[in-house]
Amino acid sequence: MGLRDKLTDLREQAQQAVAEHKDEIQGAVQTAGAAVDQRTHGKYTDKIFKYGQKANSAVEKFGNQASDEPSRGDDAAAPTAGAPPATKSEEGAADA
């Protein structure tokens, strides 16, 4: 197995891991954005939101490459940086 094959295999493993843990990654981005926004007293809220959205889009794109499904562009379902995390009751209500 050559170097190219090893790197391709590593990329596929990373894509699969991102696809499996997409919600957790996006939650971490959201939590980090909220923490930074709080520490900066809202001074950079717009920038934090913008880059949180870019990070979530990148996670969606990279995760979707692993499952070979096209990106839906459904940003409304993705958590946003700076927004409070959804509670278990809110998540259950959305599924009903």
Residue 42, by phi and psi: left (phi above 0), alpha (psi -120 to 50) or beta?
left
Once rounded to an integer, what is the mean pLDDT over residues 39-54? 95
Query: What does 21-73 look like in DSSP terms, one character per residue?
Result: THHHHHHHHHHHHHHHHHHTTTTTHHHHHHHHHHHHHHHHHHHHHHHT-----
Residue 32: count of CB within 10 angstroms of its CB: 15
% the chain with pLDDT above 70: 69
pTM for the model stands at: 0.61
Report the alpha-carbon distance of residue 20 to residue 59 in Å, rounded. 11
Q: Compute CA distances 74 → 20, 22, 66, 93, whole Å.
A: 18, 14, 18, 19
What tens digit of pLDDT does each residue of 4-20 get?
999 999 999 999 999 99
2 SS3 class: coil
